[in-house]
Amino acid sequence: MISEELQQLLLKYCEPEDQLLQHIDRETNLKVLMPRMLSGHYQGRVLSMLSKMISPKRILEIGTFTGYATLCLAEGLTQDGIIYTLDINEELEDMVRENFAKSPLNSKIEYILGDAQQSVAQLNETFDLVFIDADKKNNGTYYDLVFDRVRSGGLIVVDNVLWSGKIVNNAQDKDTKNISSFNDKINEDQRVEKLILPVRDGLFVIRKK
């Protein structure tokens, strides 16, 4: 969505990536299919900043992948805070647990494998921040599922809402139509304030009134 030159400039003027995050980025690109799903340095700093701005006690992440965004979000947790991160991919479990074990934030992370809809239903929590970055066709389902569990003033952040620019170009494939419909759903929701940040593949930042 942005030029390589601008990307490098943005990286120059944001907080550096720590060694563990660098390691996760490198290992993901070397060993995992579809490494582009990783949040990466700049988006990771955006997620960290949003988390730190609201100092959440409870975070929910739907879609762990290799744990990069999880650790970025966890940076803003209160001292007694917890991030619940949900994923269905058991093949990545060993890598993810190893990544978390290397972090001083490990004790604040609850990594839950299984169907996200079932896992959310079993969590008796009110969330300050929710990050949705899983199967895109279910964005609306996840949004509806978590909405009543988010406190007033809390944030729901949804990734990939520009879909590599296909939203702008009004592409007619099924995935693009699903994401466009979700974006319209949020735009029409009077219970929230919202904006899309053109960060990487698009972050929809949604604040519950």
Nearest to 45 by CA among 4, 16, 7, 84: 16
Q: Could you report the per-residue pLDDT of 192-203, keeping only the tens digit for each? A: 999 999 998 999
Instruction: List the CATH code of the domain at 4-208.
Output: 3.40.50.150
Q: Which of 7-11, 136-140, 144-148 has the highest mean pLDDT?
A: 144-148
User: pTM (2 decimals)?
Assistant: 0.96
SS3 138: helix
Domain boundaries, the chain: 4-208
Nearest to 83 by CA among 104, 114, 62: 62
Structure tokens at 196: 């899309």
Q: Could you report the per-residue pLDDT of 161-180, keeping only the tens digit for each? A: 998 888 887 778 888 889 99
